[in-house]
């Protein structure tokens, strides 16, 4: 189970970073969302992976750490709000600047051709 | 009085809510007055809290009476409370300036401003790393909205970069916190200091990587060299009162670096003590150099001031990296001085820009300013102070800084870079001043005059500089006391974590 979760987190992070390095706001946003998913899973596993354990400390030998669950909840809420803000900001930038490039202007036609080749 | 420590967080939050309620929200005058009065009260409360901390030593407050290390605690020591006072002082000036008309160019200026104050004060006062993350997000989301206040292409463009970078920073922050929680089993700063000191061999590398990831995050907030590219564009495009408040935002990153790398990874941390120091020293010095070059290369005055922020951040980070009580004291004095002066400079830049017509604050010949004497005096005072020339506070700040460096090799690098950067700042500011005031085309001058409230705001911030010199004796003592308290980790930890009450690792 550990290997599977670790691979999941790694794959999500890799995809997130790849997408974040793109030039348009929409892929960047998707990348950030994926990165925040990876982070949430990672925080969750920081309390160790336990099967069928109650999230209560001290009453039994076999328990799941409740704190990472609380932390991940906070992180999800904050990440969600921030992503929502970024979506609105990206739409505003598209309207204000006339394109959806993160720098506010498209690269020159020549270099753009080279890039897409 | 026991609950006083929560006031710097609760008061701005309640003020923001009150401002958004209908009877206040529909009247610009009421919004302004409530916002101004509330920040004046915040300043008074912060000073009262400082006196209380002076009398009783370090205070801590368990939120909801959940005892540390299980609950979230607020910790007030001299360092954090001085910074809360600084924030309130700066905020009062910025709000007064904003109330002269800038706040009506967009909606919700005052509530957002108060929410940002709540986040900043919370970040200074919290004693828990996850709570620090939450307060960072509170101040960031308010700053995102404030940055695009009044709109415009430049602001939107800068905001996209700023938001994306900070979201990435938050993700790295969470990774670091998860690594640290997974190995140490706690996120309470005092408890982490205990756990790091008694760390088993196999966890060393994990904790080290977590600690260094935290450094990346705080370096991003503080704008240290490889992570500083967002700062000039963001600060130069924000509207004046917002930029003035942002002057304290980079200092939060520096504060977090100071807190984490003296309390958790300080002298008591054994193998891990000073893990970030060598990185921070190099990065800080490089930031000073880059900032100084930026000051010379800036095409407009606001960008020049943003580069001055970079110079001050570099200086502070180099001081943090020295990791001695003397350097922490110098850093505290320099923080207070540089924040207030750069805040004032952003406001002066806006006053000058509004009177120069189309040329605005670009360093080209333009229209004559309408109030040359007033603005000129303000500019000269702020420039003298920020460059570190004798009658003003910058001089004492730089003196303390140079005295705090004691090893010969460090002296060579830090002294030469700081002094050289001061020279470049003087050259840059003289160039800026002579283009703004003397390179005029035509004899007509604009009719736009500075509002009394704006003049008051700038004078309020500028007055701090001579006051910092006149009361330099007590203030340096205060700074030294704060630094000693910060470096006295074991007694702080014993006070916060009651003996026999240590949390168990997961």
Q: What pLDDT was estimated at residue A61?
A: 74
B174 and A28: CB-CB below 8 Å?
no
Average of per-residue pLDDT across B393-410: 90
Cβ atoms of B54 and B78 within 8 Å: the answer is yes
Q: What pLDDT was estimated at residue A49?
A: 84
Is residue B505 very low, low, confident or very high in pLDDT (cuts 50, 70, 90)?
very low
Helix (H, G, I), strand (E, B) or coil at B61: strand
User: For residue A93, which residues of chain B lie inside 8 Å, CB to CB?
Assistant: 156-157, 159-160
Q: Is A2 an interface residue toward B (CB < 8 Å)?
A: no
In angstroms, the CA B490 to CA B500 distance is 15
B177 and A71: CB-CB below 8 Å?
yes
Instruction: Give me the residue from B134, B160, B177 closest to A102, CB to CB.
Output: B160
B501 lies in a domain? no
Q: Is B506 an interface residue toward A (CB < 8 Å)?
A: yes
B179 lies in a domain? yes
Class of residue B61 by CB neighbours under 10 A (exposed 0-12, middle 13-18, buried 19+) = middle
User: For residue A45, which residues of chain B lie inside 8 Å, CB to CB?
Assistant: 178, 182
Is residue B371 very low, low, confident or very high in pLDDT (cuts 50, 70, 90)?
confident
User: For residue A79, which residues of chain B lie inside 8 Å, CB to CB?
Assistant: 170
B311 lies in a domain? yes
Q: Would you say residue A51 has pLDDT above 90?
A: no
Count Cβ atoms below 10 Å from residue B437 Cβ, excluding itself: 17
Average of per-residue pLDDT across B305-309: 94
Question: DSSP code of A24?
Answer: B
User: For residue B160, which residues of chain A lie inside 8 Å, CB to CB?
Assistant: 25, 89-90, 93, 102, 104
Is residue A50 very low, low, confident or very high in pLDDT (cuts 50, 70, 90)?
confident
Q: How far is B178 from chain A (nearest CA, A)?
A: 5
Is residue A81 very low, low, confident or very high in pLDDT (cuts 50, 70, 90)?
very high
Average of per-residue pLDDT across B121-134: 94
Q: What is the mean pLDDT of chain A?
A: 86
Q: Would you say residue A78 has pLDDT above 70?
A: yes
Q: What pLDDT was estimated at residue A58?
A: 65
B148 and A35: CB-CB below 8 Å?
no
Q: Is A45 an interface residue toward B (CB < 8 Å)?
A: yes
Q: Would you say residue B479 has pLDDT above 90?
A: yes
Question: To which H or E segment does residue B14 belong?
Answer: helix B7-20
In angstroms, the CA B173 to CA A43 distance is 11
Is residue A113 very low, low, confident or very high in pLDDT (cuts 50, 70, 90)?
low
Q: Which of A17, A21, A71 to mutate to test the interface with B (most CBs of B within 10 A)?
A: A71
Instruction: Give me the residue from B152, B164, B506 closest to A65, CB to CB.
Output: B506
| DSSP alpha helix (H) spans, B388-471 | 393-404, 408-437, 452-470
B191 lies in a domain? yes
Q: Which of A28, A93, A105 to mutate to test the interface with B (most CBs of B within 10 A)?
A: A93
Candidate from B132-141, B146-155, B472-481 with smallest mean pLDDT: B146-155
Helix (H, G, I), strand (E, B) or coil at B441: strand
Query: Is there a cis peptide before residue B69, judged by omega within 30 degrees of 0?
Result: yes
Instruction: Give me the residue from A32, A36, A46 closest to B182, CB to CB.
Output: A46
Q: Which residues contact B66 (CB under 8 A, 6 or more apart)?
A: B72
Is residue B159 very low, low, confident or very high in pLDDT (cuts 50, 70, 90)?
very high
The range of the structural domain enclosing residue B89 comes to: 2-496
Q: Would you say residue B34 has pLDDT above 70?
A: yes
User: Concatenated DSSP letters for A89-115?
Assistant: HHHHHHHHHSS-BTTSSPPPHHHHHHH
Cβ atoms of B187 and B177 within 8 Å: the answer is yes
Q: Is B138 an interface residue toward A (CB < 8 Å)?
A: no
Residue B73 dihedral angles phi and psi, to the nearest 5° = -120, 155
Q: How far is A14 from chain B (nearest CA, A)?
A: 13
Give the chain A residue nearest B144 (alpha carbons). A85
In angstroms, the CA B13 to CA B19 distance is 10
Q: Is B137 an interface residue toward A (CB < 8 Å)?
A: yes
A103 and B506: CB-CB below 8 Å?
no
Q: Is B144 an interface residue toward A (CB < 8 Å)?
A: yes
Q: Is A103 an interface residue toward B (CB < 8 Å)?
A: yes
In angstroms, the CA B314 to CA B366 distance is 33
B486 lies in a domain? yes
Question: To which H or E segment does residue B290 belong?
Answer: helix B277-297
Q: How far is B127 from chain A (nearest CA, A)?
A: 16
Number of domains in chain B: 1
User: For residue A35, which residues of chain B lie inside 8 Å, CB to CB?
Assistant: 168, 171
Instruction: Give me the residue from A25, A48, A75 closest to B174, CB to CB.
Output: A75
The percent of residues in chain B predicted with pLDDT above 90, rounded, is: 66
Q: What pLDDT was estimated at residue B336?
A: 94
Per residue in B206-250, pLDDT (tens digit) is: 999 999 999 999 999 999 988 888 999 899 999 999 999 999 999
User: For residue B159, which residues of chain A lie inside 8 Å, CB to CB?
Assistant: 89, 93
Q: Which residues contact B206 (CB under 8 A, 6 or more apart)?
A: B179, B182, B183
Candidate from B274-278, B289-293, B430-434, B481-485 with smallest mean pLDDT: B274-278
Q: Is B230 an interface residue toward A (CB < 8 Å)?
A: no
User: For residue B182, which residues of chain A lie inside 8 Å, CB to CB?
Assistant: 45-48
| HEC readout, B350-372 | HHHHHHCHHHCCECCCEEECCCH
User: Concatenated DSSP letters for B64-92?
Assistant: GG--TTTS-EEEE-HHHHHHHHHHHHHHH
B502 lies in a domain? no
Q: For residues A14 and A1, which has the higher predicted lDDT (pLDDT)?
A: A14
Question: A63 pairs with which residues across the strands?
Answer: A54
Tell me the CA distances in angstroms from B27 to B30, B32, B34, B129, one per residue in order: 5, 9, 11, 39
Is residue B503 very low, low, confident or very high in pLDDT (cuts 50, 70, 90)?
very low
Q: What pLDDT was estimated at residue A112?
A: 56
Tell me the CA distances in angstroms from B233 to A34, A99, B108, B244, one per residue in order: 27, 19, 23, 14
Q: What pLDDT was estimated at residue B122?
A: 95
Q: What pLDDT was estimated at residue B272?
A: 83
Give the chain A residue nearest B503 (alpha carbons). A57
Q: Is A21 an interface residue toward B (CB < 8 Å)?
A: no
Q: Would you say residue B501 has pLDDT above 60?
A: no
Q: Is A76 an interface residue toward B (CB < 8 Å)?
A: no
Q: Is B148 an interface residue toward A (CB < 8 Å)?
A: yes
Per residue in B96-115, pLDDT (tens digit) is: 999 988 888 888 899 999 99
B200 lies in a domain? yes
User: For residue B174, which residues of chain A lie inside 8 Å, CB to CB?
Assistant: 39, 42-43, 75
User: For residue B170, which residues of chain A lie inside 8 Å, CB to CB?
Assistant: 78-79, 82
Q: What pLDDT was estimated at residue B200?
A: 87
In angstroms, the CA B260 to CA B323 distance is 11
Is residue A27 very low, low, confident or very high in pLDDT (cuts 50, 70, 90)?
very high
A74 and B144: CB-CB below 8 Å?
no
Cβ atoms of B78 and B481 within 8 Å: the answer is yes
Q: Is B64 an interface residue toward A (CB < 8 Å)?
A: no
Q: What is the mean pLDDT of chain B?
A: 90
Q: Is A14 an interface residue toward B (CB < 8 Å)?
A: no
B54 lies in a domain? yes
CB contacts < 8 A, A to B, total 92
A2-116: which CATH topology? Answer: Helix Hairpins (1.10.287)
């Amino acid at each position: 189970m550990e290997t599977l979760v670790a691979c999941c987190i790694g794959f999500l992070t890799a995809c997130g970073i790849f997408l974040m390095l793109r030039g348009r706001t929409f892929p960047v946003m998707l990348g950030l969302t994926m990165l925040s998913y990876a982070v949430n899973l990672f925080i969750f596993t920081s309390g160790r992976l336990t099967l069928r354990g109650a999230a209560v400390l001290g009453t039994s030998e076999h328990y799941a750490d409740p704190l990472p669950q609380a932390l991940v909840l906070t992180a999800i809420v904050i990440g969600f709000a921030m992503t929502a803000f970024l979506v609105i900001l990206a739409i505003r930038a598209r309207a204000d600047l006339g394109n959806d490039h993160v720098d506010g202007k498209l690269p020159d036609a020549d270099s753009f051709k080279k890039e897409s080749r | 009085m026991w609950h006083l420590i929560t006031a710097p967080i609760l008061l701005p939050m309640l003020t923001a809510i009150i401002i958004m309620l209908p009877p206040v929200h529909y009247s610009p005058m009421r919004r302004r007055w409530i916002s101004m009065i509330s920040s004046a009260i915040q300043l008074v409360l912060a000073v009262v809290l400082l006196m209380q901390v002076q009398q009783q030593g370090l205070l801590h407050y368990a939120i909801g009476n959940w005892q540390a290390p299980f609950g979230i605690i607020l910790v007030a020591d001299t360092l954090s409370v001085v910074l809360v006072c600084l924030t309130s002082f700066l905020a009062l000036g910025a709000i007064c300036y904003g109330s002269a008309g800038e706040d009506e160019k967009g909606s919700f200026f005052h509530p957002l401003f108060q929410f940002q104050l709540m986040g900043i004060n919370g970040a200074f006062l919290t004693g828990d790393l996850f709570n620090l993350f939450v307060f960072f997000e509170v101040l960031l989301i308010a700053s995102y909205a404030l940055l695009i206040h009044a709109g415009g292409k430049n602001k939107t463009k800068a905001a996209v970069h700023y938001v994306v970078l900070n979201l990435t920073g938050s993700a790295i922050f969470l990774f670091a916190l998860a690594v640290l929680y997974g190995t140490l089993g706690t996120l309470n700063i005092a408890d982490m200091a205990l756990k790091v000191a008694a760390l088993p061999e196999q966890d060393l590398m994990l904790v080290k990587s977590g600690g260094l990831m935290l450094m990346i995050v705080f370096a991003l907030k503080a704008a240290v060299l490889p992570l500083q590219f967002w700062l000039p564009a963001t600060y130069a495009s924000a509207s004046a009162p917002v930029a003035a408040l942002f002057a304290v935002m980079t200092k939060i990153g520096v504060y977090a670096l100071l807190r984490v790398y003296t309390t958790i990874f300080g002298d008591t941390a054994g193998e891990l003590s000073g893990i970030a120091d060598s990185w921070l020293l190099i990065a800080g010095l490089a930031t000073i150099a880059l900032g100084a070059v930026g000051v010379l290369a800036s095409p407009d005055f606001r960008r020049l001031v943003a580069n001055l922020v970079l110079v001050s951040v570099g200086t502070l980070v180099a001081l943090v990296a020295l990791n001695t009580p003397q350097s922490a004291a110098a850093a505290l004095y320099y923080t207070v001085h540089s924040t207030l002066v750069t805040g004032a400079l952003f406001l002066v830049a806006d006053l000058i820009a509004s009177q120069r017509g189309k040329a605005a604050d670009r360093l080209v010949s333009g229209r004559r300013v309408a109030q040359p004497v007033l603005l000129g005096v303000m500019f000269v005072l702020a420039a003298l102070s920020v460059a570190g020339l004798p009658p003003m506070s910058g001089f004492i700040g730089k003196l303390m800084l140079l005295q705090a460096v004691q090893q010969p090799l460090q002296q060579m690098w830090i002294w030469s870079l700081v002094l050289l950067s001061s020279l470049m700042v003087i050259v840059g500011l003289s160039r800026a001043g002579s283009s703004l005031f003397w390179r005029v085309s035509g004899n007509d001058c604009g009719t736009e005059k500075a509002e009394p409230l704006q003049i008051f705001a700038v004078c309020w911030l500028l007055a701090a500089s001579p006051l910092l010199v006149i009361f330099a004796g007590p203030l340096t003592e205060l700074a030294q006391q704060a630094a000693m308290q910060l470096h006295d980790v074991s007694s702080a930890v014993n006070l916060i974590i009651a003996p026999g009450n240590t949390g168990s690792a997961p």
